[in-house]
Amino acid sequence: MVVLAILSGCGGGGASSSGDGTPLPAKILSLAAPESYTDSTSLNPVTDLNEYEIYVNESGSFNNADNPNAVVGAVDPQTHTLTTSFNLANISPYLSRGIVYRVSMRAVAVTGLKSDFSPTASFSF
């Protein structure tokens, strides 16, 4: 599976706050579901994906021993539509203002198979 992620920021305030209690602005990670496995076998994201694992750190180096900072369901159970974004401010207890973070993600199939880490993107609050 190959996963793509795009990061964008919004000017509006977020409901989450940093360690000092100050609300962090929204930082939206756009999620693009894979359409095939690495062996080119087709993949139906709505039926074949279970979740996305989101990883954040300062170094941008991620490996299989790392624990995800957030896990997001790939499909909304009520609407049966793909999850297309995640607000990184939701993990604000682990983030601080003024630090440049790197984010990567992995798609996890219902079989448990995980994609490689996506290319990293940088963000800060």
Name residue 81's amino acid: T
Query: Has this prediction a pTM greater than 0.95?
Result: no
pLDDT exceeds cutoff 60 at 5: no
Which among 18, 12, 2, 9 is positioned nearest to 97, based on CA atoms?
18
Which pLDDT belongs to residue 38? Answer: 83
Q: What are the start-end ranges of the E strands in the chain?
A: 4-17, 23-32, 49-57, 70-73, 85-87, 101-109, 121-123
CB atoms within 10 A of CB 27: 23
Which option is the CATH number for 4-123: 3.40.605.10, 3.20.20.80, 2.30.30.140, 2.60.40.10?
A: 2.60.40.10
Structure confidence by residue, pLDDT tens digits, 58-91: 999 999 999 999 999 999 989 999 999 999 999 9
Structure confidence by residue, pLDDT tens digits, 24-36: 899 999 999 999 8
CB atoms within 10 A of CB 56: 22
Residue pair 103/54 in contact by the 8 Å Cβ criterion: yes
